[in-house]
Structure 1
Amino acid sequence: SIYEKNNAMNALDKKINEYFQGLVVRKDLVKAVKGNAIVPTYVLEYLLGQYCATNDEDSIQSGIETVREILRKHYVPRNEAGLIRSMIKEKGWHKVIDKISVDLNEKTDAYEATFSNLGIKKVLVDSTTVKAHPKLLVGGVWCIADVEYDFNEDKTTTPWILATLKPIQLSHFDFDSYIEARRQFTTDEWIDLLIQSIGFNPELFGKRSKLLQLLRLVPFCERNYNIIELGPKGTGKSHIYSEFSPHGILVSGGEVTVAKLFVNNSTGKIGLVGYWDVVAFDEFAGKKKRADKALVDIMKNYMANKSFSRGIETLGAEASMAFVGNTQHTVPYMLKHADLFDDLPEQYHDSAFLDRVHFYLPGWEVDIIRGEMFSNGYGFVVDYLAEILRSLRNHDFSDRYQEHFTLSSDISTRDRDGIHKTFSGLMKILFPEGEATKEEIQAILHFAIEGRKRVKDQLMRIDSTYADVRFSYEDGEGKTFSVKTLEEEEYPRYYHRTIGDGSEENELKSPVKTDISAKESVEPAEEQPQAGHVAYQENQRGISYQTLFGPYLTGAQKITLTDPYIRLFYQARNLMEFLETIARIKPDDEEVSVHLVTVEDEFKGDQQEEYFQKIQEAAAPIGINFSWEFSKDEGLHARHIVTDTGWKILLDRGLDIFQRYEMSDAFSFSNRLQEYRPCKAFEVTYLQ
């Protein structure tokens, strides 16, 4: 069957089904049932949750057929609306799945519904239904509804009658059971469960990349949280806001008005922020886009004070704001010529507005979505997770770090608010039971500070009146931890440049780093190698074997590489690229011997030998004598490079420093040049 998984259910999937029975669904089923139905994921998963929330294959098969049958019979495709209207007339009634919105007709003092796909309007709705489901009044809600047809000679009445209406949302959940089940999972298992819940295969993401994905959930569990994500196209920026939760709404950035978002002063009708937990602005970037200055001013006030005015009345709301848009330039280009907010419309490229943003999610670190990234494992029915996140809005975890850490006194109140909100949101998502270790709390706090620092560092470029801030924190023993953004590590030459005066040759705000962690050159063989230790962050780019090893291998005639994990194809390819580095720096009239010490693969030793023989044959004609040996020490864990010139390079990950990339794509720069690959988190120590 095409629905059977390629391999047996793994241990995590079994655990997920054991502790969340009936609340999880296999994520590949959504595609299997969707067909041509243009409905959000949470609608499909609501139905799958009714019939397929199980790990029994037979039940899944029959459940899929049931959901398909429901969609076939009751979902209204726009191109078949006339046929379904005719069916309702002939049969007298029919159950439909459609997006329904309601308006008050003041002339008749009645509520009237509009069915988006079915194409019928002025369908009477009773007040009780509207009071029970107020979101019908703003933006509309996906529902299962019984529609009846009763023709009347009176031309002022509509023949369409709404008999019953049920929003497609979870009706109840047990929060205490959720908390208790969380305790059965390790932190890594829980993160993987959440990544599978939003539809991705966690094996293809590093820890930092997983956290970036989960940050998109913070607006759903944190009130009045303002997040911006700018980055390349195709990274799924808007997906989470349009598909994931019935409590979020995605609007086009160019179509927002004061009346739609906040209040219509002529009618007194409250806008989106009064009814939705998250209002996300799609396609927010675009320099040529125009924005209403009055709207920007009201948004500034709302984002800072959680309130807005309706005439003489001031109203509060708790909707979080998410701004997503595409960047036109690379990060180093933006840092050299402008700032990381450069692509925003002029009215929003305003320091007072941007200062209200709590976290800048670096969209350039998020992978462009590829087919193999989707999960076929089990995750929460998204509607269930959406309700959990909504209930977590009533909790506050922002002080949970204070037992272990203290923020620098430099950090202003507004910076502190941003850090606290991000920290609180991530804690709720990862540790809703509140049980995190000091190290786990530190990782989240560091991440929260980095996201706010990214905002503040750009504000200091835009507006010179902002004071310099030391983004750091201390532990209970007085040890200080400074926080840097990843771009700051990657592009120190451009990061601290002040653009305000428009000059090309500007003074740097802080001296360029001179330690070896600041290497940027692609051709560093001329550098004098230095002893030292350097750590690289996950998703960092601009790194290659040439920059890491080139200066230390220059002049060596004997090199020994010890790495127990040169077994699979991609690991053998890493070895080949290591030899390519040696080939670049080796004089043509010299020969170099390279010896590999590794461990024989228990199951594919023959294939491993074949890789090494091919490498040996390829290397010999260019003056590299490659040899290898299989260590008898099965517990070999050391990974290092030793040269006959006296250098020893300790590698905590060996040669396996790069994240997954398309090895078969000849037109991918990450395939052809190491500098364009995001790396894993790793450390290197150079000893002489």
Structure 2
Amino acid sequence: MSDSADYTDKLFSIFSGKIVRKDLTKKIKEGANVPVYVLEYLLGMYCSSRNEDEIDAGIQNVKKILSENFVRPDEAQKIISRLRELGSFTVIDHISVKLNYKTDTYETEFSNLGIKNVPMVDNYVKAFERLLCGGIWCIIQMEYYYDEADKTSIPFKITKLTPIQMPHIDIDELKAARDNFTDEEWIELILRSTGMEPSQFDDRVKWLHLARLIPLVENNYNLCELGPRGTGKSHIYKEISPNSILVSGGQTTVANLFYNMASRAVGLVGLWDCVAFDEVAGINFKDKDGVQIMKDYMASGSFARGKEEKNANASFAFVGNINQSVDVILKTSHLFEPFPEAMANDSAFLDRMHCYLPGWEIPKYHPEFFTNDYGFITDYLSEIIRELRKTSYSDAYDKYFKLGRDLNQRDVIAVKKTVSGLIKLIYPNGKFTKENVEKILRFALEVRRRVKEQLKKIGGMEFYDVNFSYTDNESFAEEYVPVPEQSSGKLIPDGIGKPGHLYTISHCKTGMIGIYKIEMQMTTGSGKFERTGIGSDSKAKEAVDSAFSYLKANAKNISQSISLTTKDYLLHIQDLNGVGMSSHLTLPSLIAICSVALGKPLLTSTVVLGDLSIGGTLIKVEELANTLQVCIDSGAKKVLLPITSAQDLGTVPAELVGRFNLIFYQSAEDAVYKALGVE
């Protein structure tokens, strides 16, 4: 289909001069440490043809330009020498400019050439402001003149500067061209333009790659992607667009990122379409108020410095590595864990994320994942994307769907931005159907729900409303959108379990809420009681021992069938979340022993909450609302609750209470009967 001759003919007839064969990029890229958009700028000039002879001649031309004019750091002195000998020379280098306020002149620093303080004409600085912030790749015509009379002067002079960017594009031409491609063809064209080979990916992975482009096409969009190494997380932001900047290492300042009050210069957010932070674990502001200013900006697109409030459109992309499997992290912590502590524990900061891409679903890159087919010249793609930032499709789904009641205002904004971004990428002409929008809406709800699910783990009941849904305006059918990694992780299975098997949820000594599974075994013996899985936790041992002591004193009140002299009992506890052992285990252990002794399993999908003191008094549940939320997440349908907790139900949202069959017990014996379904 997309690799057919007809498809290639279509590309050349519609986008002549704007496409390039991506294997040419790969061939030259391997020998030149130069960004893709710089390379393809040259390939677009010399190799936009289907004639192999012309392509070969173009490649030789590009190689010659790169070998003679592209400055490699180790050959800088050779280039400077050639410039001195010839008097003038053209170089390709990354340059940045700063104002020397002592002399009131602009001075240029050449990244690879290694020279500084070269005078820069004011007109170029005004025309290309990004020279002042991070710098850009340029083709620079230079002259060399050494003045014997003034030995302090700089002998280098810039006579002409051409940023490596395509001229302005006609967006209407692109929109008209989109009509000639199917959805699949267009998505494949976009992905090939970023250098990837879509035939190697399933639809899900194609969409995840597309979503990486949303911060480039949508203003003030905050994206997070954490996943394994080697999956190309930072590739898009570093190589594909000259309009985005990758902040490596994470060390930055408020002045660099937002506004320098000394020089009155706007920072990165005012000069780039997207600011990406590589290795989020290393993000570190030298200023104490850095995270707070970042939070304000992520919420409103504005920030205050001194007496001024500034607006900017730059999106943020946070990319980093997850070192453990997602299953382990979900059990023991949350998916924002790799962020520095100042951010990972700040629910207000994380709530401003519009999208969390599951980087663990993208396979590690292999050579065959990179395309040899035709795609847009990277710079043309980046100009398309930049032009599309001016439009919005955030209301695209309003005609067909309404969002569910669990979405608050921040959730709605996040979903609207993701929908708008994906429509601009897939349907830049604005022509789409209800089915098209529904697919995009489901994706947008999922990537925002992933943020909310983690916030629930961090911030508790404030973020309990995570059951995202949408309603069809015609049929009024409501559809719920799950998060794949959450829905598969139900710890409490459906169906009847074995006698002696029981789940309980309570606080561990660090204050986190954990899920614990108790498994009892009974064998013929002489009344011994043993326990495993507790480790060296003395309070947990004491709680479990108290359960057996209570049963010895009260067994006849529960059932005449329980034998504590002719049977041995072995209790094993599993800490399913890995948060540490709990000491609230007396009542659950008592019920588990009775269950195995009587040969009766617990009611299906039941969790036992609450505890028993040494004296036999019921202890109510701490943080009832948060504990019940964990019950829901774990798959519980019935909850055994002490009557002493009834008074706390007012603190639990009605929607949450309605999700369970709550069973109250008034004593330890009552708890045993109700857990086992004994009348």
* Rounded Cα–Cα distance in structure 2 between residues aligned with 1:494 and 1:233: 32
Deviation at 1:513, TM superposition (A): 5.3
2:305 maps to 310
Deviation at 1:268, TM superposition (A): 2.1
* Unmatched runs of 5 consecutive residues or more in structure 2: 494-504, 517-626, 638-679
Q: Residues 225 and 498 from structure 1, CA distance in 2 versus in 1: closer, same or farther, beyond 3 angstroms?
A: farther
1:217 maps to 213
* Rounded Cα–Cα distance in structure 1 between residues aligned with 2:67 and 2:323: 41
* Rounded Cα–Cα distance in structure 1 between residues aligned with 2:373 and 2:16: 14
Alignment of 1:312-461 (within 5 A): 312-349=307-344, 350-461=346-457
1:122 counterpart (103, 117, 120): 117
1:484 counterpart (482, 485, 498): 482
- Is the CA contact 1:247–1:278 (under 8 Å) kept in the aligned structure 2? yes
1:472 maps to 469
* Rounded Cα–Cα distance in structure 2 between residues aligned with 1:8 and 1:454: 35
**What secondary structure does 1:89 align onto?**
helix
Cα deviation, 1:336-365, whole Å, max 9, x if unaligned, reads 000111111101111111001000011001
Q: Is 1:502 matched with 2:512?
A: yes
2:40 maps to 45
Look up the equivalent residue of 2:353 and give its one-letter code. Answer: V
* Rounded Cα–Cα distance in structure 2 between residues aligned with 1:382 and 1:8: 19
Measured on the aligned residues, the alpha-carbon RMSD in Å equals 2.2
Cα deviation, 1:381-438, whole Å, max 9, x if unaligned, reads 0100100110111101010111111111331110101000010000000001111121
Deviation at 1:492, TM superposition (A): 2.7
Deviation at 1:306, TM superposition (A): 0.8
* Rounded Cα–Cα distance in structure 1 between residues aligned with 2:64 and 2:244: 28
**What secondary structure does 2:341 align onto?**
coil
* Rounded Cα–Cα distance in structure 1 between residues aligned with 2:492 and 2:333: 10
**What secondary structure does 1:166 align onto?**
strand
Structure 1 stretch displaced more, 352-361 or 198-207: 198-207
* Rounded Cα–Cα distance in structure 2 between residues aligned with 1:416 and 1:255: 32
- Is the CA contact 1:257–1:295 (under 8 Å) kept in the aligned structure 2? yes
Deviation at 1:28, TM superposition (A): 0.7
1:163 counterpart (159, 166, 180): 159
Q: Residues 422 and 123 from structure 1, CA distance in 2 versus in 1: closer, same or farther, beyond 3 angstroms?
A: same
* Rounded Cα–Cα distance in structure 2 between residues aligned with 1:291 and 1:253: 13
Deviation at 1:290, TM superposition (A): 7.7
Look up the equivalent residue of 2:245 and give its one-letter code. Answer: I
Q: Residues 23 and 291 from structure 1, CA distance in 2 versus in 1: closer, same or farther, beyond 3 angstroms?
A: same
Alignment of 1:496-575 (within 5 A): 501-505=511-515, 507=627, 508-510=630-632, 512=634
2:610 maps to none
* Rounded Cα–Cα distance in structure 2 between residues aligned with 1:166 and 1:12: 34
2:141 maps to 146
* Rounded Cα–Cα distance in structure 2 between residues aligned with 1:222 and 1:474: 25
* Rounded Cα–Cα distance in structure 1 between residues aligned with 2:313 and 2:222: 11
How many residue pairs align between the two structures? 508
* Rounded Cα–Cα distance in structure 1 between residues aligned with 2:143 and 2:463: 65
* Rounded Cα–Cα distance in structure 2 between residues aligned with 1:427 and 1:74: 40
1:19 maps to 14
- Is the CA contact 1:290–1:346 (under 8 Å) kept in the aligned structure 2? no
* Rounded Cα–Cα distance in structure 1 between residues aligned with 2:271 and 2:48: 30
Q: Residues 340 and 291 from structure 1, CA distance in 2 versus in 1: closer, same or farther, beyond 3 angstroms?
A: farther
- Is the CA contact 2:3–2:373 (under 8 Å) kept in the aligned structure 1? no
* Rounded Cα–Cα distance in structure 1 between residues aligned with 2:401 and 2:513: 40
Deviation at 1:328, TM superposition (A): 1.4
Q: Residues 104 and 95 from structure 1, CA distance in 2 versus in 1: closer, same or farther, beyond 3 angstroms?
A: same
Deviation at 1:322, TM superposition (A): 0.4
**What secondary structure does 1:505 align onto?**
strand
* Rounded Cα–Cα distance in structure 1 between residues aligned with 2:106 and 2:122: 7
- Is the CA contact 2:281–2:339 (under 8 Å) kept in the aligned structure 1? yes
- Is the CA contact 1:286–1:343 (under 8 Å) kept in the aligned structure 2? no
* Rounded Cα–Cα distance in structure 1 between residues aligned with 2:403 and 2:631: 23
Q: Is 1:206 matched with 2:202?
A: yes
Look up the equivalent residue of 2:280 and give its one-letter code. Answer: F
Deviation at 1:462, TM superposition (A): 0.2
Deviation at 1:443, TM superposition (A): 0.4
**What secondary structure does 2:310 align onto?**
strand
Q: Residues 37 and 113 from structure 1, CA distance in 2 versus in 1: closer, same or farther, beyond 3 angstroms?
A: same
1:65 counterpart (54, 60, 63): 60
- Is the CA contact 2:251–2:286 (under 8 Å) kept in the aligned structure 1? no
2:673 maps to none
- Is the CA contact 1:262–1:273 (under 8 Å) kept in the aligned structure 2? yes
Deviation at 1:253, TM superposition (A): 4.5
* Rounded Cα–Cα distance in structure 1 between residues aligned with 2:333 and 2:30: 45
1:593 maps to none
Deviation at 1:494, TM superposition (A): 9.1
Deviation at 1:54, TM superposition (A): 2.1
Look up the equivalent residue of 1:39 and give its one-letter code. Answer: V
**What secondary structure does 1:367 align onto?**
coil
Structure 1 stretch displaced more, 31-40 or 358-367: 31-40
Cα deviation, 1:304-335, whole Å, max 9, x if unaligned, reads 11111221011111100000000111111011
* Rounded Cα–Cα distance in structure 1 between residues aligned with 2:110 and 2:285: 32
Cα deviation, 1:256-283, whole Å, max 9, x if unaligned, reads 1111101122322221111000000001
Look up the equivalent residue of 2:166 and give its one-letter code. Answer: L
- Is the CA contact 2:285–2:291 (under 8 Å) kept in the aligned structure 1? no
Structure 1 stretch displaced more, 229-238 or 467-476: 467-476
- Is the CA contact 1:406–1:473 (under 8 Å) kept in the aligned structure 2? yes
1:284 maps to 280
Q: Is 1:109 matched with 2:104?
A: yes
**What secondary structure does 2:143 align onto?**
strand
Cα deviation, 1:143-171, whole Å, max 9, x if unaligned, reads 00011101013134211000100000001
* Rounded Cα–Cα distance in structure 1 between residues aligned with 2:512 and 2:371: 47
- Is the CA contact 1:498–1:509 (under 8 Å) kept in the aligned structure 2? no
Look up the equivalent residue of 2:512 and give its one-letter code. Answer: G
- Is the CA contact 1:101–1:114 (under 8 Å) kept in the aligned structure 2? yes
* Rounded Cα–Cα distance in structure 1 between residues aligned with 2:165 and 2:506: 50
Cα deviation, 1:163-209, whole Å, max 9, x if unaligned, reads 10000000122211111110000101111111111111111111111
- Is the CA contact 2:258–2:266 (under 8 Å) kept in the aligned structure 1? yes
Q: Residues 227 and 498 from structure 1, CA distance in 2 versus in 1: closer, same or farther, beyond 3 angstroms?
A: farther
* Rounded Cα–Cα distance in structure 2 between residues aligned with 1:440 and 1:509: 36
1:268 maps to 264
- Is the CA contact 1:201–1:375 (under 8 Å) kept in the aligned structure 2? yes
- Is the CA contact 1:138–1:271 (under 8 Å) kept in the aligned structure 2? yes
